[in-house]
Amino acid sequence: MGCFACFDGGNKKQQRSERFVGVNNNQPQRKVGFAGGGNSKQQQRKEAERLASEEARAKAAQAAQKRQEQFEKSAAGRAARAQMQGMAKQSANSNKGEPVLKWQMT
């Protein structure tokens, strides 16, 4: 498990980006015009920055997933997994049916 147990490796971002033409799927980019008569340079720049940042986030998520997989395969990753399993086993056997909090009336 480890620190990235809930990390999905960017799958949600990739699925979301696949809905847009030209993002992470090597298709030519479509220009979308507005009813006002076209995109201004500022709007085009913002859109380009948004696409670039989305691609950078997707690449970062892939890199993080790759690092996590490499860590899990390494000796340190196996040791960390064994330690986590040992701690889970110990905490499951520690109270053996006794209540965690004991109250005493005086």
From the list 21, 30, 24, 27, the residue with the least C-alpha distance to 11 is: 24
What is the model's pLDDT at position 104?
Answer: 79
What is the model's pLDDT at position 102?
Answer: 75
21 — pLDDT class (breaks 50, 70, 90) = very low
What is the model's pLDDT at position 1?
Answer: 47
What tens digit of pLDDT does each residue of 31-61 get?
A: 555 555 556 999 999 999 999 999 999 999 9
Its pTM stands at: 0.44
Distance separating alpha carbons of residues 84 and 70, to the nearest angstrom: 18
